[in-house]
Amino acid sequence: MYYVVILFIIFVFAIVILGVKIVPQSQTYVIERFGGYNADWEVGFHFLIPFIDRIAKKVSLKESLFDYEPQSVITKDNVTLSVDTVVFYQIADAKLYTYGAENPKLAIEKLTLTTLRNVIGELELDETLTSRDTINGRLRSILDDATDAWGIKVNRVEVKNIEPPASVREAMEKQMRAEREKRAMVLEAEGQKEAAILKAEGQKQSVILAAEAKKEAAIREAEGEAAAIISVQKSVADGLAMIKETVGAEGAIKLKSFEALEKVADGKSTKIIIPSDLQNLSSLVCGLTEIAK
């Protein structure tokens, strides 16, 4: 009898020890009682009633990902592409995740493939290659709505790689090469145009500067000639004024007549008739000469 009591105590103690469960961080335990859903155990200490309760599923609440193999899809303009996608998801409801789908990962994979074909099938090749953000956004929205019934939240969908066929890649490379050559030719033409414009502007400025220099030189020369004429006329005027002061106005007039006679003498005339009233000018000229000295 003593041994039976000891065995019973050990049995009860073992049951208690086995019934104690500790749920770690970022996990949820789905508990069933008599084969039906009972509760979700969050992080912390819990007790499982032996033979009555059982842990149906241990669910991780961490963000996970599905990295699928590249899939073949056809664009709107009938180009076959190989598309590689990654789905980032997180369990939002442990109960729905446990009982919502037989194989949630396989269901998400098939749903992702179907949705990807539908989305890319509405786009042409160029749009597909340049609209990854649009494709990612539409895939995430559709998958997130569809997986709500499975307790799954799709956070992000990323198209990792879009691989066109070899023939399409070759044609795209030729097109890109042609575009680069076209841009190079345009840049070269623009450079030549700019050089021609700068050269013409330089020649124009050179002609303008030469004309301005010639104009300035002509102005300076005219100003010099004018100054010389003014100086000569001033000297003549000063001389006449001095003569007037010395011999009077009548003597100045006779002297001017003598100068005119001198100019006449420079001609080819062999005979010069000198008026009698100018014969007495020699003494006047001698006097003026003495005064000028």
The predicted structure's pLDDT at residue 286: 46
Tell me the mean pLDDT in the region 30-36: 90
3-class state of residue 151 by DSSP: coil
| Four-residue CA torsion sign, 183, 186, 190, 196 | positive
Cα–Cα distances in Å, from 270 out to 119, 241, 267, 273? 123, 34, 9, 10
The band of 163, judged by pLDDT with boundaries at 50, 70 and 90, is confident
Higher pLDDT, 285 or 197: 197
Query: pTM value?
Result: 0.54
The predicted structure's pLDDT at residue 254: 58
pLDDT tens for residues 109-159?
888 888 888 888 888 888 888 888 888 889 899 998 988 888 899 999 888
The band of 194, judged by pLDDT with boundaries at 50, 70 and 90, is confident
Containing 259, the helix (H) or strand (E) segment is: helix 166-265
Contact 255, 281 (CB under 8 A): yes
Whether residue 263 is predicted with pLDDT greater than 90 in this model: the reply is no
| Residue limits of CATH 3.30.479.30 in the chain | 64-164
> The tokens of 192 are what?
């030549």
Contact 33, 52 (CB under 8 A): yes
CA 118 – CA 110 distance, rounded (Å): 12
Nearest C-alpha neighbor of 239 from the set 256, 220, 215:
256
Question: How is 21-73 classified by DSSP, letter by letter?
Answer: EEEPTTEEEEEEETTEEEEEE-SEEEEPPTTTEEEEEEEE-S-EEEEPPPEEE
Whether residue 61 is predicted with pLDDT greater than 70 in this model: the reply is yes
Cα–Cα distances in Å, from 138 out to 69, 157, 184? 20, 9, 38
Helix axes 132-146, 104-121, angle to 10 degrees: 140
Residues 6+ apart with CB under 8 A from 268: none
Answer CATH for 64-164 from 1.10.760.10, 3.40.50.620, 3.20.20.220, 3.30.479.30: 3.30.479.30
3-class state of residue 274 by DSSP: coil
The predicted structure's pLDDT at residue 80: 85
The band of 29, judged by pLDDT with boundaries at 50, 70 and 90, is very high
Instruction: Convert 179-227 into a string of H (helix), E (strand) and C (coil).
Output: HHHHHHHHHHHHHHHHHHHHHHHHHHHHHHHHHHHHHHHHHHHHHHHHH
pLDDT tens for residues 83-119?
888 999 999 899 999 888 888 888 888 888 888 888 8
The predicted structure's pLDDT at residue 288: 45
Phi, psi of 80 (to 5 degrees): -85, 125
Only one residue has tokens 């859903």, namely 37
pLDDT tens for residues 5-16?
787 788 777 777
The band of 265, judged by pLDDT with boundaries at 50, 70 and 90, is low
Contact 243, 255 (CB under 8 A): yes
Phi, psi of 67 (to 5 degrees): -105, 100
Longest C-alpha distance within the chain, in Å? 193
